[in-house]
Amino acid sequence: MAERVRWGVLGVARIATLKVIPAMQAGQWTEVAAIASRDIMKARAAAGALHIPKAYGSYEELLADPDIDAIYNPLPNHLHVPWTIRAAQARKHVLCEKPIALNADEAAGLIAVRDAAGVLIQEAFMVRTHPQWQRAKELVRSGRIGPVRSIVGVFSYFNDDPTNIRNIPEWGGGGIMDIGCYLIHTARFILDREPLRVAAAIERDPSLRVDRLASMVLDFGDAQVTGTCATQTVPWQRVQILGTRGRIEIEIPFNALPDRPSRIFVDDGSDIAGAGIETMALPAVNQYTIQADLFSRAILDGAPAPYPLEDSIRNMRVIDAVFRAAESGQWEIPA
């Protein structure tokens, strides 16, 4: 294999063309070698604008290219598993956008495909490798805030465009799938275990039918996580991690900006007005560059994926339980 992993991109998704491809191109081990679209004109336009050498007018042609090592899959959610399977069967490693599937059972089907093809498959939860989450986890591990008892998270934006993929229920639309998944993912990452049971309330847009407001309680026994995600409110995001002796606040937990330091606040609680807060500013990084480079490096080294597929399936099991709990009005056990 070449010095850099040669990537191909499925579709000209906004996240790909605006954020992930430019970030990948800044990577040390990552080269974006081709892009495919269902429309060759769109593929050529994106390739020209982003200086990508090859453009294909179908996803099949990209997967048939022997000079492509890995695929980035930013298709709508209902196409994540089908095209990840096709890419793996073409012996390509796959970094697939979140959420990796429509539900845990669909995600679980990827394990056999991955193992049969001998490729890496990873869900693109870029937040996990951002230094601010790594630092938060180190602080928790070091005992700085005492045992974690509560995590409170909010993630919201406003988007009621009926043509947006997020507002089409059959395509895996809705706030829980789009952004609630981050609240669950990061809480499980910090606590390093699975919730015992889940309760939730969901309000759906009456015409779009997707969840536009959802709140969840994840019960981890001696710790509880409460999260709200909303797709028709003012944009905002914050995570608070409360221990017995201190609190960690992550200022921009999910869409950390690549052009300025990320800040986390560590509060010893000694002063209600915040005099006891220590501000930690982490140097500006692009979390999509880090994500792609770590995945590329794992491919080059023949190492396992940095974020295992098995963990993605556990995350999906919690998402499934959130939907079940909102429906049943009862606690549901992720299983």
Ligand X SMILES: NC(=O)c1ccc[n+]([C@@H]2O[C@H](COP(=O)([O-])OP(=O)(O)OC[C@H]3O[C@@H](n4cnc5c(N)ncnc54)[C@H](OP(=O)(O)O)[C@@H]3O)[C@@H](O)[C@H]2O)c1
The reply on whether position 130 binds ligand X by CB under 6 A is: no
Options 19, 92, 98, 137, the catalytic residue: 98
Other C-beta atoms lying within 10 Å of the C-beta of residue 277: 16
Nearer of residues 81 and 200 to ligand X, judged by Cβ? 81
Nearer of residues 12 and 151 to ligand X, judged by Cβ? 12
Among 126, 184, 216, 264, binds ligand X (CB under 6 A): 126
CB of 135 vs ligand X, minimal distance in Å = 20
Q: Which stretch binds ligand X (CB under 6 A): 32-40, 144-152, 277-285, 304-312?
A: 32-40
Q: Where are the beta strands (DSSP E) in the chain?
A: 5-10, 30-36, 54-56, 70-73, 93-96, 121-123, 148-158, 197-204, 211-219, 224-230, 232-243, 247-250, 262-267, 277-282
Residue type, 200: A
The reply on whether position 123 binds ligand X by CB under 6 A is: no
Contact mark string toward ligand X, 40..79, x via CB under 6 A:
--x-------------------------------xxxx-x
**Which of 198, 202, 188, 200 has the alpha carbon at shortest distance from 231?**
202
98 catalytic per annotation: yes
Rounded to 5°, the CA angle 324-328-332 comes to 55
Token readout for 173 is 């639309």
The reply on whether position 178 binds ligand X by CB under 6 A is: yes
Spatial CB neighbours of 18, under 8 Å, sequence gap ≥ 6: none
CB of 229 vs ligand X, minimal distance in Å = 13
Q: Which stretch binds ligand X (CB under 6 A): 13-21, 48-56, 189-197, 242-250?
A: 13-21
CB of 17 vs ligand X, minimal distance in Å = 8
Q: What's the rounded Cα separation, in Å, for the pair 221 and 36?
A: 47
The reply on whether position 38 binds ligand X by CB under 6 A is: yes
**Which of 251, 259, 288, 307 has the alpha carbon at shortest distance from 132?**
251
Nearer of residues 126 and 313 to ligand X, judged by Cβ? 126
Among 124, 190, 214, 325, binds ligand X (CB under 6 A): 124
Token readout for 261 is 């330091």
Could you give the C-alpha distances from 112 to 54, 75, 115, 120, 138, in angstroms and in order? 31, 22, 5, 12, 33
Task: List for the chain the helix, strand, coil content (%; round to 5).
Answer: 40, 25, 35
**Is the Cα dihedral 318, 323, 324, 330 positive or negative?**
positive
The reply on whether position 98 binds ligand X by CB under 6 A is: yes
The reply on whether position 245 binds ligand X by CB under 6 A is: no
Where in 272-301 is the site for ligand X (CB under 6 A)?
none
Q: Which stretch binds ligand X (CB under 6 A): 10-18, 105-113, 200-208, 294-302?
A: 10-18
Residues known to be catalytic: 98
The contact set with ligand X (CB under 6 A) reads 11-15, 37-39, 42, 74-77, 79, 97-98, 124, 126, 165, 178
